[in-house]
Amino acid sequence: KVGFVLANVLELKKQLAIINIDLEILYSKNFQTIPQDFLNYSQKNKCTAVYYNKEYELNESIRDNLVENLFNINDIYLYARL
């Protein structure tokens, strides 16, 4: 699965570069800090909306729910792609 994701991220980076958009990758200390790290990044960059792919594995689903709640509290709109 990691190889598949990496290949797709690299392809996405190429496609975005064509339209002059940089792809940034966020790193977190651990799985539990992802929601707050993502919120901090979004606020620093003055994001008002975020589009993301919803994942259905247990840990990822819990993470997505935490992100959704945190972003809702901070008035950042989330749009999930199922």
Contacts (Cβ under 8 Å, ≥6 apart) of 47 = 76
Q: What is the C-alpha radius of gyration for the chain, rounded to an integer number of angstroms? A: 13
Nearest to 34 by CA among 4, 71, 3, 73: 71
Question: Tell me, what's the pLDDT at 28?
Answer: 94
- Model pLDDT for residues 17-49, shown as the tens digit of each residue: 999 999 998 999 999 999 999 999 999 999 999
Question: Tell me, what's the pLDDT at 82?
Answer: 80
Q: How does residue 1 score in pLDDT terms, banded at 50, 70 and 90? A: confident
- Model pLDDT for residues 44-80, shown as the tens digit of each residue: 999 999 999 888 899 999 999 999 999 999 999 999 8
